[in-house]
Chain A
Amino acid sequence: MLMQSHMQEHNPGKDRLLIKFTVAAIMLICVMAVSCCLGSSDTSLSDVIKFFTGRSDELTKTTLTIITRIRIPRMITAALVGGALASVGCIMQGVFRNPMADPSVLGISSGAALGAAVAIVTGLNGVILFEAFTGAYIGAIIGAVITWLMVFTVAASNGRYDMSSTLLAGVAISSIMSALITVLMTLHLDDMERVYMWMLGTFSSSTVDKTKIMVVIIALMMPVLFFIAPRIDVMKLGKEAAMTLGVNQTVTLAVAMGACSCLLAFCVANSGIIGFVGLIIPHIVSYFKVTKMRSRLVLSFMTGAIFMVLCDTVCKTIVAPGELAIGAVTSLIGAPYFLFLLMGSRVRAGKERSSL
């Protein structure tokens, strides 16, 4: 009887999780629909509705091109990049047990951007596959991995690795990478504009082929993160205790960081450095009391996608026909909301009690 009452206690929790996923999914669809209708060119809502209800033969050729070649790829890319960045942030905050851990804080984004920038200015940015998989992606991955190795080497140089030195090392290495990008830009003034767009982040150059690449990398890497997510929960018990449960910390860490680096490098090569998403989205998920890593990962992906599509919609409409940099919008919308959450102290619920 006692056990029975416990079982019943569990069920509402699981149902609420399902409700949260459903709400997020509906919101994502709504935001994507809105994003599809808005843009710098005049494509009316009725045109978009016609397209999605299978009456595309009633549309002009220009309208059809705008919807299929510009609006939809851009919207999907924004959703995928937002989801991937939020997932990476979610995993990293779990792995490092620190609410500050984020690819942009640890310098991995800057490292990837430097790699991509090097590929562009040295002319290694040739097409490798699918008409859009260029050297910049390879450069970004190499840049991300090298940055990781640097951060870990510095942080673990005094024998045992600890979180504060990882964060400090990351902040320092981040500024080295940013400085190198600046140097690179100054040396190659003719490529400056293209590299500069990276520093700010944009989805305006999204194409169908670039979107396909994001789809492929996310289809490859997200299942890896989904698979190892419960292991990251187990690792919170400490290295030896995790070992008794069959979880090897070093292997799990390497797999998590490898998958995260790949996702991040592709996001950066695709649309530049977009800060703040990886940092705030996991805290929003915490705010809704989702605690287990696997659920957090899925909800982070969805929330990140919603947030990014929303920001991109603001980006392309608020100063139309011009565009705002997406990084500025994510910070302008994200940071105040993050501060609001911080004041409500819910964010701190996932944190050790401070002695101050």
Chain B
Amino acid sequence: MNLEVKNLTVGFGDKTILDNNSHTFSEGKITMILGPNGCGKTTFIRSVVKKFAKTGNLSYIPQEIYGNIGLTVEDTVALGRYNAKKFLSDQTEEDVRHINEAIFLMQLEDKRRQIFDTLSGGEKQRCMAARAVCQDAEWFIMDEPASSLDIVHSKFILDTASDLVRNNGKSFIVVMHDINAAAAYGDEFVLMRDGHIVKVCSELTADLLQDVFGTPFGSVKTDSGQTVFYAS
């Protein structure tokens, strides 16, 4: 299922955050959303979530992780299996299977009984990711999934996303700040500035980035053929 957004305009009070944006997110891809701070990326994906939440086809990992959840890791992950239509929240065998798989995938097995709030920032983010995986939705929408992860774990999250796309037919929309990580893992790039989508492309260039971020960019090619961007 593609996610089609048409003429999306969002404002708070007299301030316009998003101005008449249209985009179709196509399935089976990792779509990276890039842009400077405050350009409306988070508002944009939140609007996508609001629009398609009822289809039951997507899971969302917010950037902001709340404190005082007070549940064990296992119970937090199990929230992904919550079914609003069921009065008693007994887990079926299928639920248990999904929960165990998600915990295994995010390498949280030795943390199962630990209270969420006592985890480190990176573990919290992996726990939230496991919660989304266990939801078993077609679409994953992630806001800065790597913001509190070290380089090893942020690579791990993006590798896992790649695997889910290639092997399980999942689709991703990811807001990223790390341009090089986005360039390495993204199939499609949505570049935003001041509440507008300015460019949709399948490959990043230094000129495009300069245009969006308003600061000069350079790029070098590594020995392995990867392009690395830097603000010059």
Contacts and interface: CB of A to CB of B under 8 A. Distances in A.
Interface string A313-356: 00000000000000000000000000000000000011111000
Given A6-B100, A233-B79, A291-B75, A352 B58 contact: no
Interface residues of A, number: 35
B61 A244 contact: no
Given A97-B66, A236-B69, A241 B60 contact: yes
Main secondary structure of the interface of B (DSSP, over half): mixed
Contact of A349 (B59, B79, B117): B117
B155 interface: no
A10 to B, nearest CB: 8
B84 to A, nearest CB: 4
A2 B97 CA distance: 11
Contacts, number: 104
B71 A291 contact: yes
B49 A243 contact: yes
A227 B100 CA distance: 26
Nearest to A238: B62
Contacts of B61: 241
A234 B79 contact: yes
Contact of B13 (A10, A159, A231): A159
Interface of B: 12-13, 46, 49-50, 53-54, 56, 58-62, 64, 66-72, 75, 79-80, 82-85, 87, 89, 96-97, 100, 112, 115, 117-118, 128, 131-132, 135, 137
28 contacts: A3-B97, A6-B100, A97-B67, A97-B69, A98-B68, A99-B68, A159-B12, A230-B89, A233-B75, A236-B66, A236-B68, A236-B70, A241-B59, A243-B49, A243-B50, A245-B79, A245-B80, A245-B82, A246-B54, A246-B84, A246-B85, A247-B84, A291-B115, A349-B70, A350-B70, A350-B115, A351-B67, A351-B68
Interface string A81-110: 000000000000010011100000000000
